[in-house]
Every structure is written in structure tokens, then in C-alpha cells.
């Protein structure tokens, strides 16, 4: 029932914004105060989290090697999966971050009994994930048009590619469809796949539902609930927000405030949740380090040089007699130690 809680929470958020924004005078609260607060939390929280991570050192070089390392020159190194140079690490990270390479690795190709169910379903996770993340990225980029004036060429180009199917008016953005599709699939997977369901927490369902609601309200605003939705007014507000001179002098439909409130919630929630994997993936020591720890010494700032092994002298003292008997060379001969005693 964990997912039900997420639905309730998002419904509550929608009600708060939908009703609250209709109370006279509250437009500034929902249109200006909340977004500013959310942005502050997002930026502040994100920076805080990343600095918190960065404050902890990486004491040891612990890359997970996924291929042959660099050793003898006649042994072929797998430069992507077992990098030794920074450029190779960058390439590995690039593929990891932009193509989700580790998830793609999920191949199972040996003898199968019956249909190859898992082969496909393991790739599904990769596909759903990629679909969702790229759609989301595209949508964020598209929204940049609200915050810049004039709109740069590349932004318009992205938009026209995104709407190239030319369906409906205003034209349908592909990314809107793939975002919702990706979310549904990820959500469905969490419910249907028994062991993923077993490990899922509220924290896993909530962002999915929240982003889904953001997508739906955005689509509603663009295509259906268009009363009092004027892109010019919204852009004015957005430009006002980024230039720190926000004004709301016209009536904007409740659906806009709901959309904005949900986005604000996402921003505020982001740094305090698993969504921080966005930052963490760059800093994961098992992926972003070169496998060269024998060639180049890695430094551990808290290494304690005072920790010494049980000394050879202590060892010889304990076993000297046996060592001499067995003809093992010793530092101090038996007679010498006896004389001392």
C-alpha cells in the first residue's frame, strides 16, 4: 500500500495549490514565494549534499573493474571497463551517465528454457529508464524558453524536433508522451515485478507519482484547460522571477498554479531524496576512479602511519630458538640474547 500513500500526498498537493491559488492575494504566495523558496531549497540543498559528499575523502582507490586491466603489453586492456588514464575514465563515465551502460550490461544470453522472458525484461529497465530520463531532460530544456528572451536558435530547433510529428494544435511534443509512458512503465514495473515491489519504499513511488502529475498538469494546461492560460503572461511571470522583479498583474488559471506548485515540490524534495543520484552518479568511487592503484600511489588523508605491524623483532624474540634450530637466519644469535639476559 506504499504507492497509495504517494497518490494521496500528490492529490493533497494538487488540492492545496488548486484551491489556495484561488484565494485572493494568494497568487503571489503560489506564484512567487513558493517558487523562490523551492529554488532556494533546491540549489542550497543540492550544493549542501554535494559538498557533504565531497567532504568525506575517498580513502582508497576502489574502482570496480569490469574488464582486463592494463598490465603486460601483449595483454589487451579493456580501456572502457578498466580505465587507467583520465580520458578513459571520462569515457567510462560518459557512457555510464548518458547511456546507462551498467544497466545495459544486464544481458543474459545462454541456454534458455522456454521464452527468453528475462533477457527482455532486464533490457526493459534500461529502456524505460533511458526513455524517462531523456524525455525529462528535453522537457526541462524546452521550458528554458520561458526564462530567456530572445529565444535562442538551438532551443527553437529542439522544440521543432520534439514536435516533428505535427499532431494536433498546439502540436504535440513527443517528449510529453514518452515521459508519461516511461513513468507508467517504471511505475508498473515496481508493482508487477515482485522483488522490486518488495524492496520499494514510499520514497520510490512518490517521485514517480509527483513527476507524473507534473506531466499531466502540463499537458492539460497546454492542450485542454486553456482558460486564463496565456503564454505571454506566464513568460512575463517567469522572466520576472529570473530577473528578481516578479509581477502578477493578470489572472492566471488554477492549473498553472498547480503545475508550478508540483514543480516546486519536486525541486524542494529533490536534494533530500534518492533523486540525488543525479549528482551521486558523478561521484561514485567505483566508477570514477582509474584502475592504476599499483602504478600510482593513492593517498588516504586519514591514513595513520602509527599503525605498525607486529614487529619482526618481537616475532624473532618469540620464536628465536626454533628458528635457529631450523637453520633460519636470525638477526640476533641465541648466545647473544642469552648473554644479554
Partner 1 sequence: MKLDEAFRNHREKIVDRWVDYTLSTYESSSFFKKEKDKFANPVGGNIREGLDSLFGLLARNADPQEFVAPLEQIMRIRAIQEFAASVAVGPIHAVKHITREVLEKDKERRHLVADLYDFEFAVDLAVLAAFDLYMQCRERLYQVRIQEIKTGNYILTDSKCPSNLLKTNIQESLKAVESH
Partner 2 sequence: MAVPKLEQLSKSVVQGPSLATGAVPTKDWMDVPAIFKPGNYAYPAKQEKVEYLNSQKDLHFPNAREWSPEDDDWKLPEGWQDIILKGLKERLDKFRSLKIFMDCCVRCGACADKCHFFLGTGDPKNMPVLRAELLRSVYRNEFTIGGKILGKMAGGREMTVGVLKEWFMYSYQCTECRRCSVFCPYGIDTAEVTMMLRELLHLVGVGINWILEPASNSNRTGNHMGLQPHTFKDNVDFLADDVENLTGIKINHSFNRKGAEVLFITPSADVFAEPGLYTAMGYLLLFEHIGLDYTWSTYASEGGNFGLFTNNELMKKLNGKMYAEAKRLGVKYIIGGECGHMWRVVHQYMDTMNGPADFLEVPKSSITGTTFNNAASTKMVHISEFTADLIKNGKLKLDKSRNAHVKATFHDSCNPARAMGLIDEPRYILDHVLDNWVEMPENTIREQTFCCGSGTGLNTDEIMELRMRSGLPRANAVKHVIDKHDVNTLSCVCAIDRATLTSLMNYWNPGCNVCGVSELVGNALVMDGENRQELDEGLRTLV
Residue 251 contacts partner 1 per CB under 8 A: no
Residue 231 contacts partner 1 per CB under 8 A: no
CB of 121 to partner 1, least distance (A): 9
CA distance 300 to 40: 34
CA distance 31 to 237: 8
The entry of partner 1, partner 2, none near residue 245 (CB within 5 to 8 angstroms by kind) is: none
CB of 78 to partner 1, least distance (A): 22
CB of 135 to partner 2, least distance (A): 17
CB of 309 to partner 1, least distance (A): 20
Can you read off the three cell numbers belonging to residue 171? 502540436
Look-up of cell digits 550544493: 47
Q: Which is nearer to partner 2, 33 or 54 (CB)?
A: 54
What would the 3-class secondary structure string for 214-227 be? Answer: HHHHHHHHHHHCCC
Residue 75 contacts partner 1 per CB under 8 A: no
Contacting residues for 154 by C-beta, under 8 A, at least 6 apart: none
The entry of partner 2, partner 1, none near residue 58 (CB within 5 to 8 angstroms by kind) is: partner 2
Q: Which is nearer to partner 1, 302 or 322 (CB)?
A: 322
Peptide bond into 2 cis (omega under 30): no
* Of the residues 110, 304, 339, 340, which one makes contact with partner 1 according to CB under 8 A: 110
**In contact, 142 and 173? CB cutoff 8 Å:** yes
Residue 199 contacts partner 1 per CB under 8 A: no
Residue 112 contacts partner 1 per CB under 8 A: yes
Q: Please spell the DSSP secondary structure of 3-50, one letter per residue.
A: HHHHHHHHHHHHHHHHHHTTSTT-HHIIIIIHHHHHHHHHHHHHHHHH
**In contact, 187 and 175? CB cutoff 8 Å:** no
CB of 313 to partner 1, least distance (A): 23
Residue 118 contacts partner 1 per CB under 8 A: yes
Residue 73 contacts partner 1 per CB under 8 A: no
How many residues bind partner 1 (CB under 8 A)? The answer is 13
| Greatest Cα pair distance in the chain | 105
CB of 333 to partner 1, least distance (A): 24
List contacts with partner 1 (CB under 8 A): 108, 110-119, 194-195
Amino acid at each position: 500500500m506504499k504507492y497509495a500513500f504517494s497518490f494521496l500526498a500528490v492529490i493533497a498537493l494538487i488540492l492545496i495549490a488548486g484551491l489556495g491559488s484561488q484565494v485572493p492575494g494568494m497568487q503571489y504566495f503560489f506564484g512567487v514565494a513558493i517558487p523562490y523558496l523551492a529554488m532556494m531549497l533546491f540549489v542550497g540543498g543540492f550544493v549542501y549534499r554535494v559538498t557533504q559528499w565531497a567532504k568525506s575523502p575517498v580513502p582508497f582507490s576502489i574502482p570496480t573493474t569490469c574488464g582486463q586491466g592494463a598490465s603486460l603489453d601483449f595483454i589487451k586492456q579493456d580501456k572502457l571497463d578498466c580505465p587507467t588514464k583520465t580520458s578513459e575514465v571520462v569515457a567510462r563515465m560518459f557512457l555510464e551517465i548518458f547511456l546507462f551502460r551498467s544497466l545495459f550490461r544486464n544481458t543474459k544470453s545462454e541456454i534458455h528454457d522456454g521464452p527468453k522472458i528475462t533477457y527482455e525484461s532486464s533490457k526493459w529497465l534500461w529502456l524505460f529508464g533511458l526513455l524517462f530520463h531523456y524525455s525529462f531532460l528535453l522537457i526541462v530544456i524546452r521550458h528554458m524558453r520561458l526564462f530567456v528572451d530572445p529565444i535562442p536558435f538551438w532551443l527553437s530547433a529542439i522544440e521543432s524536433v520534439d514536435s516533428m510529428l505535427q499532431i494536433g494544435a498546439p502540436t504535440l511534443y513527443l517528449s510529453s508522451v514518452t515521459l508519461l509512458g516511461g513513468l507508467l512503465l517504471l511505475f508498473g514495473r515496481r508493482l508487477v515485478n515482485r522483488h522490486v515491489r518488495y524492496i520499494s519504499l514510499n520514497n520510490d513511488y512518490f517521485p514517480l507519482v509527483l513527476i507524473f502529475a507534473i506531466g499531466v498538469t502540463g499537458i492539460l494546461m497546454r492542450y485542454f484547460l486553456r482558460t486564463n492560460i496565456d503564454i505571454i503572461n506566464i513568460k512575463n511571470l517567469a522572466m520576472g522571477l529570473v530577473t528578481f522583479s516578479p509581477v502578477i498583474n493578470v489572472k492566471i488559471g488554477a492549473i498553472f498554479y498547480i503545475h508550478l506548485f508540483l514543480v516546486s515540490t519536486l525541486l524542494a524534495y529533490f536534494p533530500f531524496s534518492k533523486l540525488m543520484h543525479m549528482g551521486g552518479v558523478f561521484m561514485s568511487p567505483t566508477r570514477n576512479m582509474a584502475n592504476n592503484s599499483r602504478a600510482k600511489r593513492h593517498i588516504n588523508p586519514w591514513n595513520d602511519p602509527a599503525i605498525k605491524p607486529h614487529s619482526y623483532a618481537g616475532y624473532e624474540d618469540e620464536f628465536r630458538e626454533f628458528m635457529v634450530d631450523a637453520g633460519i637466519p636470525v638477526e640476533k644469535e641465541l648466545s647473544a640474547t642469552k648473554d644479554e639476559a
